[in-house]
Amino acid sequence: MKLRKIGNHVLLAICDVEILGKTLREGKIVFRVSEEFYKGEEVDVEEAVAMIENSTIVNMVGRNVVRKAVEKGYVHPEAILEIEGIPHAQIVKL
């Protein structure tokens, strides 16, 4: 989990630890789960998803984090993009 402030926004980047540093490919999509963007504090999935409440922009990738965000009502299942079978979702609160 990596949390950063950008202007008036709080950006939360969360991913499952096992895909950190990997590149996912599907069709024309090339998605890098870069350590620069995602690597920060290692926390459990509950704590990471709880941080969504105080964030204005959220970028998440991984089966565990996206599933938990759906369970908590933050992400609609139809808003999930799958890349190589790995779910990715974004939240922007305006």
Reported as a single tens digit per residue, the pLDDT across 48-76 is 999 999 999 999 999 999 999 999 999 99
Instruction: Say yes or no to pLDDT of 94 above 90.
Output: no
Q: What is the CATH number of the domain that holds 24?
A: 3.30.1860.10
pLDDT computed for residue 24 by the predictor: 98
Structural domain containing residue 87: 2-92
Those residues whose C-beta lies under 8 Å from the C-beta of residue 53, and which sit 6 or more positions away, are none
Whole-prediction pTM: 0.93
Those residues whose C-beta lies under 8 Å from the C-beta of residue 76, and which sit 6 or more positions away, are 70
Q: How many domains does the chain have?
A: 1
